[in-house]
A and B are shown apart, each in its own frame.
Chain A
Amino acid sequence: AQSVTQPDIHITVSEGASLELRCNYSYGATPYLFWYVQSPGQGLQLLLKYFSGDTLVQGIKGFEAEFKRSQSSFNLRKPSVHWSDAAEYFCAVGGGSQGNLIFGKGTKLSVKP
């Protein structure tokens, strides 16, 4: 069955510290992978996506993610977190012809001053 697992429900990091949010997927075909961010009361904004090629992808707001096929993972990273990064982050997998995405349950990020 197709699924996305985000093992960490809530993470707190200090401002300026590095960040890594974990994402593991189960998908029968070649996965297309996405990270979205959701601020409170808002919709989802696309941070970055992976389709093929270089397994390290760069996104907006200084985020990057690395696709590791052997580990079925697509972890999101940022070298130095800013207070404005506090939000909920969703990993998603797609690839079907309909464009539907399967989302993880999200990881809520809190940033300490």
Chain B
Amino acid sequence: NAGVMQNPRHLVRRRGQEARLRCSPMKGHSHVYWYRQLPEEGLKFMVYLQKENIIDESGMPKERFSAEFPKEGPSILRIQQVVRGDSAAYFCASSPRAGDSVNSPLHFGNGTRLTVT
């Protein structure tokens, strides 16, 4: 019974490169959330997606960041032209039903640690 799978676990990029982070939700889950954890900080919400739809991207930086959750395949968080400030742990979480944290608490993956050099 696989949990939320994220890859890669660690990703190193030079400034200006692109970073692509992947998240496969738990089986049966069609709702995905991305969070970012900066050093010494808690997790900050970035974006909430359902299959083929972005529901809430209020926490996503307006530039360079994008997310998708296609009909087939994992959810992708894409960061273009990375800068040192993008270095963080990026966590994906999934739930089986529409955004109701009461009945479907979020299940988190182990995260992708992005380092920008």
Contacts and interface: CB of A to CB of B under 8 A. Distances in A.
Interface of A: 4, 32, 34, 36, 41-46, 49, 51, 90, 92, 94-106
Given A44-B108, A90-B43, A101 B91 contact: no
Interface of B: 4, 6, 31, 33, 35, 40-45, 48, 55-56, 59, 91, 93, 95, 98-102, 104-111
B37 to A, nearest CB: 9
A83 to B, nearest CB: 22
A92 B33 CA distance: 15
Contact of B4 (A32, A43, A49, A51): A43
Contacts of B109: 43
Contact of B43 (A32, A49, A103): A103
B101 A99 contact: yes
Contacts of A105: 40-42
Nearest to B109: A43
Given A103-B44, A105-B41, A98 B102 contact: no
Given A43-B108, A43-B111, A99 B100 contact: yes
15 contacts: A4-B42, A32-B101, A41-B110, A42-B110, A43-B4, A43-B6, A45-B108, A46-B106, A92-B43, A95-B101, A98-B56, A100-B45, A101-B45, A103-B35, A105-B42
